[in-house]
Chain A
């Protein structure tokens, strides 16, 4: 079945450090890929998405590129801020199970210290 694997957390960084959160997927066909973020006390928010191979999603300084050859969608940011502290979820939607059914990774907690 379809699945998403993302790196265990927590990831602890100092402000202005470079961030990478790894995400790999298994899916039939060409899924759509998403990163969601959950800030403390808030609901899940879509951070960025990519719907086909080689697409790059970007938002708020975060980027992720849909790599079909490595089945990956790693999240990166060049300089993190304290306000980026949150839990990040990688997710996919696939045609074989219906794009309405998002499959999520287990989440990676990011802690950024001043």
Chain B
């Protein structure tokens, strides 16, 4: 597609429920990233995919968070047993390649998650 597409754009969920956030990267981009943007923490790295594998998961805040990528394309971020502190904007980005000094990451508009 023309840009990175994320869905849904907004999600309100009850505490304790599971949620899935979807990211459709730019066609041909091998690298995909998830970030979280929250008032208290700013922009935080969550996970990096190169193809379908995730060589860097260091930013996932707990084992309630997981992500997968299939076909070297679409990625899903899953949050189990959501907590109020999970409320944030979840941003997805992609780039032609990952882990390069001059990598340019293209970001989606994000999914605003509100846990009530």
Q: Hey, which bits of chain A sit against chain B, CB under 8 A?
A: 32, 36, 41-46, 49, 51, 89, 91, 93, 95, 98-107
Q: How far is the CB of A21 from chain B (nearest CB, A)?
A: 15
State whether A45 touches B107 (Cβ < 8 A): yes
CB-CB nearest in chain A for B50: A100
Are B45 and A103 in contact, with the CB atoms below 8 A?
A: yes
A46: which B residues are within 8 A, CB to CB?
Answer: 104-106
Total contacting residues, chain B, CB less than 8 A? 28
A sample of 6 more A-B contacts (CB under 8 A), given A42-B109, A98-B56, is A43-B107, A44-B93, A91-B43, A95-B101, A99-B98, A101-B48
Which residues of B come within 8 Å of A, CB atoms? 3-4, 31, 33, 35, 42-43, 45, 48, 50, 56, 58-59, 91, 93, 98-110
Q: Which residues of A contact B104 (CB under 8 A)?
A: 46, 49
CB pairs A–B below 8 angstroms (24 shown):
A32-B103, A43-B3, A43-B108, A43-B109, A43-B110, A44-B91, A44-B107, A45-B107, A46-B104, A46-B105, A91-B43, A95-B101, A99-B98, A99-B99, A99-B103, A100-B31, A100-B103, A101-B45, A101-B48, A102-B33, A102-B35, A103-B45, A106-B42, A107-B42
